[in-house]
Structure 1
Amino acid sequence: MLSNLKPQDPDKILMLMEEFKADTRQGKVDLGVGVYKDPQGVTPVMRAVKAAEKRIWEEQTTKAYTSLAGTPEYRDAMARMVLADVPQDRLASVATVGGTGAIRQGLELARMANPDLTVHVSDPTWPNHLSIMRFMDLPFVQYRYFDSDTRGVDFEGLKDDIAKAKRDDIVLLHGCCHNPTGANLTLDQWHEVIEILDRTGAVPMIDLAYQGFGDGLDADAEATRLVARSLPQVLIAASCSKNFGIYRERTGILMTLTGDGGARDMAQGAMAFLNRQTYSFPPDHGARIVSTILSDEALRNDWKDELEEVRNTMLGLRDQLASELRELSGSDRFDFIARHRGMFSRLGATPEQVQKVKDESAVYMVGDSRLNIAGLNRDTVPVLARAIIDAGI
């Protein structure tokens, strides 16, 4: 039986990681994998996370299952963090295995509700979005998003394309810090997107993987909250990997907002059913870390302070890189890097130029020219800037 299996296409980012490890050159720079690194190149355990884990270790008396949906403390804490004062009488939620699990469960839920579902997803988007949908044999189309000339959002193209979505289709949107481009919609543009969705009856599904990494914890959730207040049906897939730094704990949540209490209860039951079929009970350790931090004022404030340090470090690196490139190029054509938000920016370079940067300067980025800003430090920014100019980008 197993001999009948077919080889799977390798993940390009994971391949890049292995190639980087095998590179023996001194001073090599990894800007490929989407993980935050401090100026010393370490992905740290946040202070509040260490404190919360110590408290859990000291106080926890059982490792018994929680519930199919996860603990109410975690789900309530995440709802407050993501949605703030959005009325929650329409809200259903389940804990998931990371943000990726939330995406998968959200798509499964949407297909249960609409067997004729088509998903509309940005071009480009996080590659795993497309991989998951292909594996699910779920029809999808891509809407225009990134303008390679301006390195901003092709908003007119986006509007034209999502207006073609049918009632009860899913339009997958990045809540902030768009991956892989770093180019975000403005709040005024979000209002226009909402008008289109309201007119067509398509349902937004928001991937919120980087809350706190862009303009701040509340500012990064503002668009998601606006959508949640404005439309009768919304799906939200949120991750704690980046903003709590608990990547390996696989901590996420799927939230749905529905038109009434009956639909909410139906959605809650369906999501719990999907958890049962997929992995039975969701993992609890990461969720308990998050709920411990968010429910304790001192821990929450310390976490928010450290998250701001992370965010400001990335903004400083963006400004430094844009400044270096302005000086080397004698132009402002790279100023978009300072305007982008989150961990990533897409340079708009060709695969050949990306290869040249790797071969000649030992700087690794994804083939579509997505670079991880958090993989830089003050000493490697000039190395990248010179490599970009020498490659003719």
Structure 2
Amino acid sequence: MLETLSPQPADALLALIKLHNADPRPEKIDLGVGVYRTSEGDTPVFRSIKAAEAKLLAEQESKAYLGPEGDMGFVRALIPFVFGKDFDTARVDGMQAPGGTGAVRLAIEVAKRAGAKRVLMGVPSWPNHAQIVTAAGLELKTFRHTTAEGTADLDALKAALGEAMEGDIVLLHGCCHNPTGVDYTPAQWDEIAPLLASTGVFPLIDLAYQGLGEGMEADAYGLRKVLAHVPEALVAYSCDKNFGLYRDRVGAFYAVTGDAGALERALANGATIARASWSMPPDHGAAAVRLILSDEALTADWLAELDEMRDRMRWVRDRLAAAQQVGPIAMAPLGIQNGLFSMLPLSGEQILAIRERHGVYMAGSGRINIAGLTDGNIEAFIAALADVAG
């Protein structure tokens, strides 16, 4: 039987990691792997997480199953940070998922059971978005996310919504767009929210990087604006990035509606899907987040750590933007983008050249993780970019 399986292409990012690890040059630069790095190049465990884990070690009395919904204390502790302290909690409930990926998959599967047939999505997008949509058996309809000037293309979104059909949902990044770093502005969200309400297209918002763009409140602006206008929505949330819990896979899936019965059914269907997919989500990371959010001192320390991360990434962006023009590449737009990622308009040949000649490793799409740049290598990176782009 197994001999009938079709070969699958190797994961490009995993291949890039292997190439970087095998490169003996001490000056090599890794801009491919999508994790936060300090100015020393480390991806540390948060201070607040270590403190919460110590508390968990001392106080946890059992590792018995919690059920497919996971740690509901974690799920509900996140609600005021995601939806706002004044949000009507009768409208929202959720369940834990293994990372933001699991949350997106749950959202897509629940939407499919509710009658969704097609997903509208701006491109480029996180590659796994398309894979999840097609694996769930839904049609994918794409539209352009960015303009030639490097801003979010609101007109393209409007056109896609204007051509939407019954059963369409639209997948939107809440902040820190992956892979472009190009977010809708508050003014654009102010237009998007009532447009979603008037067209009836169902919103699915992926909020994977809250706090890494402009701050916890600012990064939730689009989500909250949309929820103030539409009767219902689905939300996929990740704690992997803003708590540094990458390998612990900590996410949450939320349903928002004004109908108590519909809310109960959405979560019941989510639990059924989860039971057949991963049975129970991993507990440790979510329990640590719950402890942080239930302790004012730990919450304050966590928010301070987010400030440090955000300030460092803003410093990198400002330094890149200060280069203004590197060959044909306009660098200034990088200064107004958000989060870990940006895209450089490089050809495949140029991406290969910068890797071979300068030891700079980036995705074949031109996506770079700006957290891979430090005071010690950023000027070398700009020089390498000028060499291959000029």
Shorter-chain TM-score range: over 0.9
Equivalent position to 2:362, from 355, 360, 365:
365
SS of residue paired to 1:18: helix
- Partners of 1:305 and 1:162 lie apart in 2 by 39
| Range moving further from structure 2, 363-372 or 150-159 | 150-159
SS of residue paired to 1:122: strand
Q: Deviations over 1:209-248 (max 9, x none)?
A: 1001000111111111111221111111000001000101
Aligned to 2:8: 8
Aligned to 2:70: 70
- Partners of 2:361 and 2:341 lie apart in 1 by 14
Q: Are 1:94 and 2:95 matched, yes or no?
A: yes
Within 5 Å, give how 1:205-244 maps onto structure 2.
Answer: 205-244=204-243
Equivalent position to 1:386, from 357, 362, 383:
383
Structure 1 residue runs of 5 or longer lacking an equivalent are none
Asked if 2 retains the 8 angstrom alpha-carbon contact of 1:48 and 1:303, the reply is yes
| Range moving further from structure 2, 158-167 or 200-209 | 158-167
| Range moving further from structure 2, 256-265 or 130-139 | 130-139
Asked if 2 retains the 8 angstrom alpha-carbon contact of 1:163 and 1:197, the reply is no
Aligned to 2:132: 132
Q: Deviations over 1:276-298 (max 9, x none)?
A: 11122222111101000011000
CA positional deviation for 1:313: 0.4
Amino acid at match of 1:224: L
- Partners of 2:92 and 2:324 lie apart in 1 by 47
Amino acid at match of 1:321: L
Amino acid at match of 1:340: Q
Q: Deviations over 1:88-126 (max 9, x none)?
A: 211121100100000011111011111x51011111000
Q: Deviations over 1:237-277 (max 9, x none)?
A: 00000100010110000001013111111112111111111
Aligned to 2:104: 103
Aligned to 1:288: 287
Aligned to 1:24: 24
Structure 2 residue runs of 5 or longer lacking an equivalent are none
| Range moving further from structure 2, 44-53 or 138-147 | 138-147
Asked if 1 retains the 8 angstrom alpha-carbon contact of 2:17 and 2:33, the reply is yes
CA positional deviation for 1:355: 1.9
Distance 1:253 1:328, change over 3 A: closer
Distance 1:59 1:216, change over 3 A: same
- Partners of 2:258 and 2:159 lie apart in 1 by 27
Asked if 1 retains the 8 angstrom alpha-carbon contact of 2:325 and 2:332, the reply is no
Taking structure 2 as the reference length, what is the TM-score of the superposition? 0.96
Asked if 1 retains the 8 angstrom alpha-carbon contact of 2:329 and 2:389, the reply is no
- Partners of 1:66 and 1:311 lie apart in 2 by 34
CA RMSD between the two structures = 1.6
- Partners of 2:225 and 2:253 lie apart in 1 by 18
How many residue pairs get aligned? The number is 389
SS of residue paired to 2:37: coil
Aligned to 1:351: 348
Q: Deviations over 1:155-175 (max 9, x none)?
A: 212221232222331100000
Q: Deviations over 1:320-365 (max 9, x none)?
A: 1222x23866x99311111110000112222222222212211111
CA positional deviation for 1:28: 0.5
Taking structure 1 as the reference length, what is the TM-score of the superposition? 0.95
Amino acid at match of 1:91: V
SS of residue paired to 2:389: coil
Structure 1 runs, 4 residues or longer, greater than 6 Å off? none
Tell me the percent identity: 41
Distance 1:53 1:104, change over 3 A: same
SS of residue paired to 2:172: strand
